[in-house]
Amino acid sequence: MSLMTALIILVTVLVTTFISGIFGMAGGIIFMGVLAALLPVATAMIVHGTIQIFSNGYRAFLWRKHINWTIFGRYALGSLVAVGLLFALSWRPGHQVVYLMLGLTTTLVWLPKSIVDLDIQKRFQAEGAGFVVQALNTVAGVAGPLLDLFFVRTDMTRHQIVATKAVTQVLAHFVKVVFWSVPVIMAAGASALPPAWLILAAIPLSMLGTTLGGKVLERMTDVNFKKGMKYLVTAIGAVMLMKAAGWL
């Protein structure tokens, strides 16, 4: 990995964790898009997942008193089923498919309630979210917009949404790292994994970005939070679809 590539990744970590610190998502999609442009897919997934574990973990720690642990427990049950299925199939996409899935995922925020009425607080929906979000997050790298569909219509506050989503994403990204690391280690050994110094340098930057984003979150209203999240994700999705089509 060249020094310039590493510097781009580290700057992107700071910017995208700042965005995620505000909205609890969106930053991860941007980060995955940048990594997919710079690195092989497997390396991009491992770097993204490892840094996102620390980023989401720190965000969950900051807002820990707002986490809904009941929802997380139910989410984890669905996630376990998805993990078993993914390891059984062992399918891993290439660059263009990753961009396509990232772009299509963002369009989910516009689905009208008349078509799909998702609410993670309702019966069996947390388990369903765990299954579909874990599956998509593992193969595409990011599933924030899909996860958001289960939260945007709840009566939870913005703090509860950000905190609970953060802890579910720690689990989702941990599974992703394992899923993509296993074939790399089996094929080329542990030395083929991303350098540890890159991850160590990214951790404090992710914590800084998360902290600064949290300060902005404190100044927002719940209404503006949900509205801003929707339009930001849509703009990011448009860029990912153009990348998939080869227009960028």
The domain spans of the chain are 3-244
Is the model's pTM score more than 0.85?
no
pLDDT for res 183: 87
Residue 159 near residue 66 (C-beta atoms within 8 A): yes
**Which range, of 22-31, 69-78, 221-230, averages the lowest pLDDT?**
221-230
Least Cα distance to 196 among 55, 58, 59, 46 occurs for 46
Average pLDDT over every residue of 179-187: 89
Which residue is associated with the tokens 């227009």? 247
Tell me: pLDDT of 170 over 80: yes
Q: Which two tokens stand for residue 147?
A: 């996860």
Q: Integer distance in angstroms from the first to the last C-alpha of the chain? A: 23
How sure is the predictor about 168, in pLDDT bands with cuts at 50, 70 and 90? Answer: very high
Tell me: pLDDT of 197 over 90: yes
pLDDT for res 190: 83
Which range of 76-85, 96-105, 239-248 scores highest in mean pLDDT? It is 76-85
**Which range, of 38-42, 108-112, 177-181, averages the lowest pLDDT?**
108-112
pLDDT for res 126: 93
Average pLDDT over every residue of 60-70: 92
Half-sphere exposure of 217 (CA within 13 A, CB side): 27
Tell me: pLDDT of 25 over 70: no
* H-helix or E-strand spanning residue 142: none
pLDDT tens, 101-147? 878 877 776 777 666 677 899 889 999 999 989 998 888 887 877 78
Contacts of 224 (CB under 8 A, 6+ apart): none
